[in-house]
Amino acid sequence: MNLKGFTCEEFTTLVIDLTQDLEKIWQNMSRTSCRQTIKEAEKIGVKINLNQNYEEFFEINQLFRKKKGLDTYSESVEFMKKYGTLFTAEFDGEILLGHFYLEDKNNIRALFSGSKRFNVDKKKVRLIANANKLSIWNTIKYAKDKGIQEYDMGGYYTGEKKDVQKENINIFKKGFGGNLVTHYVYEKDYSKLFTLTKKIFGLKQNIIGKR
């Protein structure tokens, strides 16, 4: 609905209902693209760490986004320690990847993630892919144990313009068996100075993006 003075933005995402039995959540996941690869990662001894390796993950994420041609996140190590939950995957003492989440008593949402997959050989790419899914599975179990009701995959691309990279991410996320949900975010600026500042910043970002 339209509310006077407010802007409305749609946010579509995949949500896993954590009130289900854990076994049902597991069975809803793709057998080949998720369950088998998670078992492979567990079998070879991939270790999932909770709220550790902040500095290592920060460097991995910055390089990961640079390789993908994305803006680097402004969130610092201090921000992650204070406001969110970090899962990292480790193998033979090496941190391979990480997922950073925001959570409250009812929801946990993926905010950003990064891995070393652009800087390794093909064999290690597979290892990282399997560890990535194991990390998500461990997060689901962590959230369910805490009584959190929903695991939010952090967005789902619904744009009309074809984007192969984003569509492949959609396929990856769908493998975990969540339900497609659309949220509506309403915003209103009560300061003219703040509105002007946002417009200037947005224009600056557009200019930078076109370089």
**Of 98, 101, 115, nearest in space to 64 by CA:** 115
- pLDDT of residue 172 exceeding 80, the answer is yes
> 80, exposed or middle or buried, with CB in 10 Å at 0-12, 13-18, 19+?
buried
- pLDDT of residue 92 exceeding 70, the answer is yes
pTM: 0.84
Q: What is the mean pLDDT of residues 144-167?
A: 93
pLDDT at 160: 85
- pLDDT of residue 183 exceeding 90, the answer is no
Q: What is the mean pLDDT of residues 112-125?
A: 90
How many contiguous H segments (helices) and E segments (strands) does the chain have? 7, 7
pLDDT at 198: 64
Q: What is the mean pLDDT of the chain?
A: 89
* Separation between Cα atoms, residue 112 and residue 80, nearest integer Å: 11
pLDDT at 16: 98
pLDDT at 87: 98
pLDDT in tens, 184-210: 888 888 877 766 776 665 544 443 333
Percent of the chain's residues with pLDDT above 90 = 68
pLDDT at 200: 66
Percent of the chain's residues with pLDDT above 70 = 90
Q: Does CATH place domain 7-209 in 3.40.718.10?
A: no
Torsion of CA 21, 24, 29, 31, to 10 degrees: 130
Q: Which helix (H) or strand (E) holds 108?
A: strand 107-115
* Separation between Cα atoms, residue 135 and residue 190, nearest integer Å: 41
Min mean pLDDT across 21-30, 96-105, 128-137, 159-168 is at 159-168
| Strand partners of residue 50 | 87
